[in-house]
Structure 1
Amino acid sequence: MTSPVKVYGPPMSTAVSRVLACLIEKDVDFQVIPVNMSKGEHKKPEFLKMQPFGQVPAFQDDKISLFESRAICRYICEKYADKGNRGLYGTSPLAKASIDQWLEAEAQSFNPPSSALVFQLAFAPRMKLKQDPGVIKQNEEKLAKVLDVYEERLGDSQFLAGDEFSLADLSHLPNSNYLLSVTDRGALFTSRKNVGRWWDEISSRDSWKKVVEMQKSP
């Protein structure tokens, strides 16, 4: 029996939840190791050996340590290619390239404005921090432009990288879920016919439902 891989960090974290969704899709056994960030556990020397930037998640598979959630997801898909959802990261060079380009779009174009909105609208109130209306307005406009591109793309294909659910779609789940379930900005998605249809499909996957349940656990 191989020991389960270890994911360090709280499921509430968008980056941690991205990795958890990937592991569930790939049917890989895992263990979540709590990291108390309010006590600064992510800045302690033993954690920094795994994640030198002091962020979550950190990931261990036997003697291998990795950081950065998208790189971890690619690794999981490659190492455990024959497990679970085999097409999650494509099965040909062209399929992988298509997934990679939309993963890059998520990381470079979608993530910055959506992360800013998640922080301002979902986390700042919980942390008793003042919201910045200028930051909210600016990033809402940026995200709308990105979603306009997605709307056009999703009129041509069922999912971002083609007609199969992939890592490209999965990577969008964490931030989108906060915007649609915790904030009043869900219309950014639902007002766009194709984006709304896409969101309904990807958010109803069993893997993501399990992650949401993990986020609700104390």
Structure 2
Amino acid sequence: MAVIKVHGHHFSTATAMVFCCLNEKQVEYEFVVVDLPTGAHKKPQYLALNPFGVVPTIQDGDLILFESRAIVRYLAKKYAGQGTDLLGSTLAEQALVDQWCEVQSQSFFSPAAAILFQTVLLPIRGGTTDEAAVAINIEKLNKVLDIYEERLSKSKYLAGDFFSLADLTHLPWTQYLVTACKKGDLISSRKHVKAWWDDISSRPAWKKVAEKMPK
């Protein structure tokens, strides 16, 4: 069986999410580094794989697949019989996984990514952090995390009492919020969110990824 190739970068949150999924599913893969600082993701060789010029992209035999959320769903389905069950075992559980994955993409991701961009990525590129923009997105994220706190007071994980894609998709951005962005109080100030984060961030599959991410 051909080994899955992952074209990406260790600093990329989306790539980290795919790595974690592969680790949870106990799938061997080959990492092909796309040198983002030199613009390799915008060059013809990579654009032939992913016309949007972003990472990651995977190659699984003849299948070329991009968009990290689509990739992790594909991997969770293809390798349903091994590693961690990330989808849920009943229709109701699967629906809840899908629901909270949508919450991550529609409500959590945007303010978390904006905070990361303003506090870390923009200064690296020579820009100046817009503190007003940071404050606005912290306010947005606080509202989202208040809902998470209520949810997690009733279940160990977002979709229920089992770890799933709903939790996994939060890992890279929350990792950066806590470490690089120095916004760990967003998590630690909420009892149940903190317990959830302490749990999911200590999973061996994620720790293998996180140790290669910048602090």
The code of the aligned residue for 1:125 comes to: P
Q: Which position in structure 2 is the counterpart of 1:160?
A: 158
Say if 1:122 and 1:178, in contact at 8 Å, map to a contact too. no
Alpha-carbon deviation of 1:162? 0.2
Q: Which position in structure 1 is the counterpart of 2:197?
A: 199
The code of the aligned residue for 1:60 comes to: Q
Calculate percent identity across the aligned residue pairs.
48
Q: Which position in structure 2 is the counterpart of 1:19?
A: 18
Q: Aligned ranges for residues 53-202 of structure 1 at < 5 Å?
A: 53-85=52-84, 87-202=85-200
Residue ranges of structure 1 left out of the alignment (5+ in a row): none
State the distance in 1 between where 2:194 and 2:133 align.
Answer: 25
CA offsets per residue over residues 19-60 of structure 1, 9 Å max, x none?
000000000001110111222211122312221211000111
State the distance in 2 between where 1:92 and 1:16 align.
Answer: 28
CA offsets per residue over residues 169-194 of structure 1, 9 Å max, x none?
01000000001012221101110111
RMSD (Å) for aligned C-alpha atoms: 1.1
Q: Aligned ranges for residues 18-57 of structure 1 at < 5 Å?
A: 18-57=17-56
Number of residue equivalences: 214
Say if 2:118 and 2:130, in contact at 8 Å, map to a contact too. yes
State the distance in 1 between where 2:189 and 2:143 align.
Answer: 13
The code of the aligned residue for 2:105 comes to: A
Q: Stretches of 4+ moved more than 4 A in 1?
A: none
Q: Higher mean Cα deviation, 38-47 or 101-110?
A: 38-47
Say if 2:86 and 2:164, in contact at 8 Å, map to a contact too. yes
Say if 2:115 and 2:181, in contact at 8 Å, map to a contact too. no
Q: Higher mean Cα deviation, 98-107 or 124-133?
A: 124-133
State the distance in 1 between where 2:86 and 2:37 align.
Answer: 34
Alpha-carbon deviation of 1:11? 1.6
TM-score w.r.t. the length of structure 1 is: 0.95
State the distance in 2 between where 1:140 and 1:98 align.
Answer: 26
Q: Higher mean Cα deviation, 174-183 or 150-159?
A: 174-183
Say if 1:22 and 1:73, in contact at 8 Å, map to a contact too. yes
The code of the aligned residue for 1:168 comes to: A
Alpha-carbon deviation of 1:82? 0.9
Residue ranges of structure 2 left out of the alignment (5+ in a row): none
CA offsets per residue over residues 72-124 of structure 1, 9 Å max, x none?
00000111111111x21112222111101000000000000000001111222
State the distance in 2 between where 1:126 and 1:14 align.
Answer: 16
The code of the aligned residue for 1:136 comes to: V
TM-score w.r.t. the length of structure 2 is: 0.96
Alpha-carbon deviation of 1:133? 1.1
The code of the aligned residue for 2:70 comes to: A
Question: Secondary structure of the residue that 1:151 maps to in structure 2?
Answer: helix
